[in-house]
Structure 1
Amino acid sequence: MCVKDSEQVSEEMENSSRSDHDTTKLGNSFPLLSISEDKVASDKEQNLISIFVPALRSGEWSDIGGRPYMEDTHICISDLAKKFNHNLRDEEAISFYGVFDGHGGNAAAQFVRDHLPRVIVEDADFPLALEKVVMRSFIETDAEFAKTCSRESSLSSGTTALTAMIFGRSLLVANAGDCRAVLSRLGVAIEMSKDHRPCCTRERSRIESLGGYIDDGYLNGQISVTRALGDWHLEGLKDIGERGGPLSAEPELKLMTLTKEHEFLIIGSDGIWDVFMSQNAVDFVRRRLQEHNDVKLCCKEVVQEAIKRGATDNLTVVIVSFHCEPPPPVVVRRPSVRRSISAEGLQNIKSLLEG
């Protein structure tokens, strides 16, 4: 059995794509079946997918870091529909995780944390069209916050937002801003989100097409991210019209089908990624989980390590493990071709070393 916050979820979805077998005829003999290495690899991966059922365990940890105020917040919900009394009949549980990094105050981050999950569940297409639902819900939550700020201007602020939803074997990540989600597959880091910063060429093109500009690394000279919810008080960044303003609340989505090889997901505010590279974070988490297999403790250790490395921002991390067992040791494959150096090459190196 897994620890208390673990939950097994499964999904009756399989995205299988089977290529036709090539056949080759030799004279009058029967056709011979030709199976390529790609086909074997594809079948192996499909088998991993079909038999895997994630056993979810999650942990979280936050620290004010070097800032005078805490503007980060986060959320972990094991069963999104149940949380908001939504009957899914025979549907499997949908788990929801999010990290929200506020700026200019914590009101926007807390508002999005409290409202976005409810907006998702109350969408008419939930849970059948989750990608469309999540996209609409980010925009709708942003609009709701604009109305709240118009009634109470002291709440004016902004927040980046990254959410991860797990249903069956599917992982859906939605990101608006510079929080980041990184997936571990047998110890290899897979970035499930892209940081929305002014230095991004694609973001710059989108901004300029909407009349915005980048000044000294800041969007319209005011903000260091190109996507966020809130910030309605900043002139020239948001537009209620159909095209929207240069600061977009629309998230970028990434969908992944989980297999047995996927080990855990790391979600962190940008304070974490200021001092951790994605692969470095995966390596660190794997080592800690192999030592004690405690997801909550691992989150605390990530934050403590970030502080040791000189992090100055607020720090928040959520880790979701897909297994009850710790990650297995990574087997390093030896190269099939042995490399050697010729006698002439050795003599040349010796001559260089001797001057």
Structure 2
Amino acid sequence: MEIPVVVQVLLINMGIYLSTPKTDKLSDDGENDKLKFGLSSMQGWRASMEDAHSALLNLDNETAFFGVFDGHGGKVVAKFCAKYLHSQVLRSEAYSAGDLGTAVHRAFFRMDEMMRGQRGWRELSALGDKINKFSGMIEGLIWSPRGSDLNNRQDDWSFEEGPHSDFAGPTCGSTACVALIRNSKLVVANAGDSRCVISRAGQAYNLSRDHKPELEAERQRILKAGGFIHMGRINGSLNLTRAIGDMEFKQNKFLPPEKQIVTANPDINVVELCDDDDFLVLACDGIWDCMSSQQVVDFIHEHIHKESSLSAVCERVLDRCLAPSTIGGEGCDNMTMVLVQFKKPISQNKKPDVGEQSAKSVEETSAAEENGS
């Protein structure tokens, strides 16, 4: 997440930034007969790594799944999403019916549901590093006084949901930006300020929208739910408006999940791929704070034939974005990037206009239909 310059020195003193960046990278590559991918992540100047990712070439026999999850206040929600979100998409009835957009939309909300209750606590605790037994804190998780009473509990997600749950859910959170590719159909779902960009004949097109407090629709939802915006941040703290987790911003019992101060409600964008499509990029805001979508696309085109693998191209982008010092803030965040290259030909379809594609959430689409637009 972006951090204001005025608090840089304080953050360094508090230990949020390291004295020297960790430039070791976790990288991977893979391919099948339709796609080729590379990915890389780097901790950088941050004191801990809070990003996570998913890369599944075969979610089933005809569908690939890629995701980037950028945690804040702790890494456990990002890791939880990387572990479970794709499986919840796969288990959805909508997925079985071929409706990928509805399936992934439901899976985002399902993450919040699954993290409540005792099983959610146990799983999040296992994904964290350590727990302070005196304060009861583990990376944004608060232990319930009734939490040790597990003898009669069934180890089932749905059993532990609802108003009688002992664990309200994590106070840390994560963005989620995922892409599903099935034949010539691309479905992008996004909540937060990670971003998905496609290169079509060398031109960058954003397939997601950065959810920030300055967006009017986001501001209206925040205010109606009882929140406020101070210095560009929700309640003076969070600088993005949609995320999985962050349960402290989802406590209004009179509002549905999509209308809370912070919501996991993803924008869904469905795109028909064509032979002009070169590659797809999913990356956290640690990249987009330093380079525009077009700059990233141009950089990849410049290096994709010079490097031995797609992950090496991602590593070059991470090195390009890494700041020489923590003065200024940009280039000091965790960085994760997934690069997906399409093998040609993708389809025989005529070229659609991606520039006119709109990333609308299911909620917004329904509202438009109700208003007759």
TM exceeding 0.5:
yes
For 1:56-92, what per-residue CA distance to the aligned partner results, in whole angstroms no more than 9, with x for missing partners? 10000011011000000111001113xxxxxxxxxx5
Cα distance, 1:308 vs structure 2: 5.1
Distance 1:78 1:124 in 2: 21
The equivalent of 2:129 in structure 1 is none
Distance 1:290 1:240 in 2: 54
1:165 aligns with 2:180: yes
Q: Say if 1:238 and 1:169 are closer, same or farther in 2 by CA, change over 3 A.
A: farther
Cα pair 1:231 1:238 within 8 Å, conserved: no
1:75 aligns with 2:54: yes
The equivalent of 2:340 in structure 1 is 320
| Unmatched 5+ stretches in structure 1 | 9-54, 82-91, 326-355
The equivalent of 2:292 in structure 1 is 277
Cα pair 1:109 1:159 within 8 Å, conserved: yes
What aligned pairs does 1:116-135 form with structure 2 within 5 A after superposition?
116-127=85-96, 128-135=98-105
Residue identity over aligned pairs, in percent, reads 34
Cα pair 2:323 2:332 within 8 Å, conserved: no
Give the alignment partner of residue 109 of structure 1, picking from 65, 78, 82.
Answer: 78
Cα pair 1:272 1:316 within 8 Å, conserved: yes
1:98 aligns with 2:67: yes
1:146 aligns with 2:125: no
Cα distance, 1:150 vs structure 2: 5.5
Distance 2:323 2:36 in 1: 26
Give the alignment partner of residue 243 of structure 1, picking from 246, 256, 267.
Answer: 256
* Secondary structure, aligned partner of 1:178: coil
Cα pair 2:225 2:252 within 8 Å, conserved: no
| Unmatched 5+ stretches in structure 2 | 1-28, 126-136, 142-169, 325-329, 346-373
Distance 1:62 1:178 in 2: 17
Distance 1:5 1:318 in 2: 11
Distance 2:254 2:80 in 1: 22
Distance 1:305 1:144 in 2: 38
What aligned pairs does 1:34-45 form with structure 2 within 5 A after superposition?
none
RMSD (Å), alpha carbons: 2.0
AA aligned to 1:281 is V
Cα distance, 1:242 vs structure 2: 4.8
Q: Say if 1:143 and 1:72 are closer, same or farther in 2 by CA, change over 3 A.
A: same
For 1:237-266, what per-residue CA distance to the aligned partner results, in whole angstroms no more than 9, with x for missing partners? 444655232100010011111100000011
Cα distance, 1:212 vs structure 2: 2.1
Distance 1:110 1:320 in 2: 21
Distance 1:73 1:256 in 2: 25
AA aligned to 1:323 is K
Q: Which one has the largest radius of gyration? A: 1
So what's the TM-score if we normalise by structure 1? Answer: 0.70
Distance 1:298 1:308 in 2: 18
